[in-house]
Every structure is written in C-alpha cells, then in structure tokens.
Homo-oligomer: A and B are copies of this chain.
Amino acid sequence: MSLTLPDFSEIEAAHKRIQPQAHRTPVLTSSYFNGKTGASLFFKCENFQKIGAFKFRGAFNAISRLSEAEGKKGIVTHSSGNHAQAVALASGMNGYSATIVMPENAPKVKVNAVRDYGAEIIFCKNTTEARESAAQKVIDETGATFIHPYNHPDVIAGQGTAAKELLEDHPDLDIIMAPVGGGGLISGTAIWAKHISPDIKVIGAEPKWADDAYRSFKSGQIEPVLRTDTVADGLRTSLGELTFQAIQTNVDDIVTTSEDVIIQTMRDIWERMKIIIEPSCAVPLAAIIENKMAIDQLKIGIILTGGNVDLENLPFG
C-alpha cells in the first residue's frame, strides 16, 4: 500500500461504505456552553458511534476495502484503546478474524470488550517494541493485514466521514475542531472541511502534557510525545508521517490546554449535556475556555470523539 493522503473523493467513497453500518450520530447544542463561550457550538456525538468512538469509521473503511483473499488471512493490530475494539468489531462484520495485540496490563474492561467482539487477544509487555514484534509475528505466520490506528489512508478517509456528516447537518460552520492524538481524525476532518470550503478554519486541540502535534506544527518536523500521563488517554500518541503531512497542509492552528481545565470541562459536559464523554473529548472545548479564544458569535463544530470510560475510576468526584 502506498502511503498517500486520501482526497475528498475517498472520504465520499468511505462514507458510502460506512453509512449502512455506522450510526449517523446526532449533533447536540448547549445553551449553557453557548452562553459561557459566546459562540454557537455544535457537538458531533461520536461517543454514540458503534464501539463508543469514531474509531469504528476508520477501521471499518480500511477493513471493508480488503479483498476477500486478504481478509480471509485475518486482521491484526496493536492497541489497548478504542482502535482495538473498532478493528475487532469491523473485522467480524466483514466476516474476517482479528488478532489484537494488547499490553498485559491493559484494563480488564477493555480486554473484555475486545473479546466480546470476537477477536483473539495476544498479550505482550507494555513497550512499543514488544507490541510491534508481536504483531509482526502474527503477520509472518498468517499473512494477516495490519491496520494502523491512524497512519493509514483508508483509516484517515474513514475518520473524515464524521466531519462530512457534521458539515452536511451544519454547512455554515466557521470553525471545526477535533482533538489530536495520532492525528487520524484531524487529518480526515481537515481534508474534508477544506474541500467543502477554504474559509472554514480547522483547529486541532491537545493537552499541554501531550503537545507533540502543537510542537510539530510549529517546528515543521514530527516531534515526539514527551510524557504519557495526561488524563486524555486517547491523545498520548505521536503523529505519523501521513497525519503530520495532512496537518501541515490543511490545519490552520493547534491549541493546547491544561489538565485541570480538561477535567473540569469533562465534568461540566457530563452535568450540563447529560452525555458521557472520555477526557480526550473535552480537550477542544477546554482549549476554547482556557485560552478565551476570540470566537464570539462564530459557529464552531466540535467532534466529541468517544465515551469509553471506566465508571469506577473517574477523574472527578
């Protein structure tokens, strides 16, 4: 597979593939947060997506593009997060088997979720090397196809379909925001948004404690994540070459925010909007609030990325 960024037509094609299987998630508004920010906010609720996160879109698109012959050899990935569940479910829906490499200390709730979707799990030590070598072993033995969580054109195209739906529902957005982890979501979002209108500003948001995309955006080269303890556990990853390229080309700005504002904003979203979101979801709104961004009267779309949290282990309360 050549690593070339998808264009808008590949996001359109991805949407055709995904639509019959994915939820068209609702867009919610909140008088409270509109009042607090001065903007009109439109929250695209991917926490209601299958497996509880937007990751289903990219994984399903990539897996459904495989030939029958490729698919029958199985799918493999390494992840302890939402991508693991997405690959497990999307593989099963396409009639393929999946093997997920997970660190041996992965939370039991996530292990069980992956198993419930019918995937086989291989445990390994919690290092990048151990995960990659365990995945490579599966590929060598079975010819399985590896689905990268973000640095993959079909995954990026799939993630872009969330922004496509949001802009179909609200074509007059001034700004569209998404959190940045590995960068798959912001890449697909930016490619679609800039296709629809060069006037829409695309802004990524990161925790200050995982501001690698912010630093990469400023320096012009991929900078690694320096610490992995942000509460926004979905955003602890560094960019890939493809997602960095998409960000350089199509993203207007990246803003950052601090841990306490992320936690407070997460809690406020729970209490005010009555929806369950992961800490990562709260990052764009937290950045707006903390930085007092000049957004008065503007229409801002925010992609809420997922809702998989451990109710026994909340960062507040």
Contact = CB atoms under 8 A, between A and B. Distances in A.
Interface in A261-283: 267, 270-271, 273-277
Q: How many copies does the complex hold?
A: 2
A50 to B, nearest CB: 7
Range of interface residues on A (Cβ < 8 Å): 20 to 34
A28 B45 CA distance: 12
A47 interface: yes
Interface stretch (A68-76, A172-180, A309-317): A309-317
Contacts of A274: 45, 47-48, 52, 275-277, 307
A38 interface: no
Contacts of A276: 270, 274-276
A4 B270 CA distance: 39
A31 interface: yes
Nearest to A311: B317
A55 to B, nearest CB: 14
Interface string A23-62: 1001011010000000000000101101010000000000
A271 B23 CA distance: 17
B317 A312 contact: yes
Interface centre among A28, A50, A316 (most CB of B within 10 A): A28
A48 B28 contact: yes
Contact of A316 (B267, B307, B311): B311
Contacts of A31: 50
Given A276-B276, A311-B316, 9 more contacts: A26-B26, A26-B28, A45-B274, A47-B274, A48-B273, A274-B276, A275-B275, A275-B276, A312-B317
